């Protein structure tokens, strides 16, 4: 086990009941203030009271456990190489990199299900297209239902973020997320770690790229958040989602909300499943500060990757491609997804 995996056990992340936000839409100033404080102070928070049927998550977990139990040859039938520029499908253990080092996880990549005649598919824009699904009864239907449900939750939560920033409730919808880029991942972290402590991270320290991540965890645990100068455990809470902000929201707010580093190590005797859903700006959106006059210091030295999000100029799609090409360098070369800046 890595020697520096210890965390502040006394610290905890905020838990926000978003029931009023779900029921009343914009009439949620109290909830919006809780969201603002959580984004400013932690960059992470739990949400409860979301109204999403737990049976959907239970079904999703059971179907994915069935998939990951298959022989590798069966899983590779829907490998990401088959997904091409849509960037969909299965990747095997060690294929995904964080800071140049292989993660100890395998996973599935999904996104919005788009037909062949969709304009972004016809234009061959990356991350747009059809999903690859295993031949497991109910798998496709459950994943697509989950994506639709999380997309609605993303819109709901961003209304709370907008109000917390003192903006109109539909600010992000009007400027960035009327047609969001939604990416859904399923990760399986095994418990059979090797003997080299340097190779045991499920995923190393990193930040997310977009606006908002909504995470469903199973009951195993292992997520840690670096906030306020220390690592904090984010254990599973029944019927909750863990939410965190990404690089683009930090850029939009001029650093008022910071994209918070996090990492995972499965210390359990069982495999761990996690279901991160990324609710991000439209692929073609130019991401700019909400207040262009805000003075922003260069934060590159403070960032886990040494790169300042405030120095970026371009569309969200360009930013995402520049990052993902480092996560899957071989696949990025094969599908010509690298972006030269």
Cβ atoms 250, 183 nearer than 8 A:
no
> What tens-digit pLDDT sequence spans the chain (341 residues)?
454 656 555 468 999 999 998 887 655 788 999 999 999 999 999 999 999 999 999 999 999 999 999 999 999 999 999 998 899 999 998 888 777 788 889 999 999 999 999 999 999 999 999 999 999 999 999 999 999 999 999 999 999 999 999 999 999 999 999 999 999 999 999 885 554 544 567 888 899 999 999 999 999 999 999 988 889 999 999 999 999 999 999 999 998 998 999 999 888 888 999 999 999 999 999 999 998 876 665 565 555 455 678 888 889 999 998 888 777 776 666 555 544 43
Cβ atoms 217, 236 nearer than 8 A:
yes
Question: Could you report the per-residue pLDDT of 32-85, keeping only the tens digit for each?
Answer: 999 999 999 999 999 999 999 999 999 999 999 999 999 999 999 999 999 988
Residue 285 lies in a domain: yes
Q: Cα dist. 109→82, 83, 92, 188, 315 in Å?
A: 12, 9, 12, 12, 22
Residue 178 lies in a domain: yes
Residue 9 lies in a domain: no
Cβ atoms 318, 339 nearer than 8 A:
yes
Residue 10 lies in a domain: no
Domain span at residue 80?
A: 15-334
Cβ atoms 63, 30 nearer than 8 A:
no
Half-sphere exposure of 109 (CA within 13 A, CB side): 24
Residue 98 lies in a domain: yes
Number of folded domains that form the chain? 1
80/99 Cα distance (integer angstroms): 20
Tokens 């992000």 belong to 172
Strand partners, 244: 44, 213
Cβ atoms 185, 109 nearer than 8 A:
yes
Task: Report H helices in the chain.
Answer: 19-24, 29-41, 54-68, 72-75, 80-83, 119-122, 139-164, 171-172, 247-252, 316-327, 329-334
Tell me, what CATH number does 185's domain have? 2.60.120.330
Residue 2 lies in a domain: no
Residues in the chain: 341
177/169 Cα distance (integer angstroms): 12
Q: Determine how many CB atoms are found less than 10 A away from the CB of residue 201.
A: 24
Question: Could you report the per-residue pLDDT of 285-329, keeping only the tens digit for each?
Answer: 999 999 887 666 556 555 545 567 888 888 999 999 888 877 777
Strand partners, 72: none
Residue 190 lies in a domain: yes
Residue 252 lies in a domain: yes
């Amino acid at each position: 086990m890595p020697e520096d995996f210890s965390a502040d056990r006394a610290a905890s992340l905020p838990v926000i009941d978003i029931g009023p936000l779900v029921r009343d839409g914009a009439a949620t100033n109290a909830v919006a203030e809780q969201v603002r404080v959580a984004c400013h102070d932690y960059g992470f928070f739990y949400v409860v009271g979301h109204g999403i049927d737990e049976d959907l998550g239970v079904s999703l977990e059971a179907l994915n456990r069935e998939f990951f139990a298959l022989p590798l040859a069966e899983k590779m039938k829907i490998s990401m190489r088959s997904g091409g520029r849509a960037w969909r499908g299965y990747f095997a253990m060690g294929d995904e990199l964080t800071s140049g080092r292989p993660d100890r996880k395998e996973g599935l990549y999904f996104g919005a299900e788009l037909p062949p005649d969709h304009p972004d598919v016809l234009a061959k824009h990356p991350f747009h297209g059809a999903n690859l699904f295993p031949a497991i009864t109910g798998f496709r239907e459950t994943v697509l239902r989950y994506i639709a449900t999380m997309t609605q939750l993303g819109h709901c939560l961003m209304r709370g973020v907008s109000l917390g920033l003192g903006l109109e409730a539909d600010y992000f919808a009007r400027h960035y997320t009327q047609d969001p880029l939604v990416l859904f991942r399923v990760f399986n972290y095994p418990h059979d770690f090797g003997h080299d402590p340097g190779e045991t991270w499920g995923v190393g320290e990193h930040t997310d790229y977009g606006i908002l991540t909504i995470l469903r965890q199973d009951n195993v645990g292992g997520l840690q958040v670096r906030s306020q100068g220390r690592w904090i455990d984010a254990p599973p809470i029944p019927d909750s989602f863990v939410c965190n902000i990404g690089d683009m929201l930090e850029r939009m707010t001029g650093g008022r909300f910071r994209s918070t580093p996090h990492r995972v190590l499965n210390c359990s005797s069982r495999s761990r499943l996690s279901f991160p859903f990324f609710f991000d700006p439209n692929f073609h959106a130019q991401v700019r500060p909400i207040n262009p006059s805000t003075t922003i210091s260069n934060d590159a030295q403070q960032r886990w990757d040494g790169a300042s999000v405030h120095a970026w100029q371009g569309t969200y799609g360009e930013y995402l491609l520049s990052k993902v090409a480092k996560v899957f360098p071989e696949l990025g070369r094969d599908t010509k997804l690298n972006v030269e800046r």
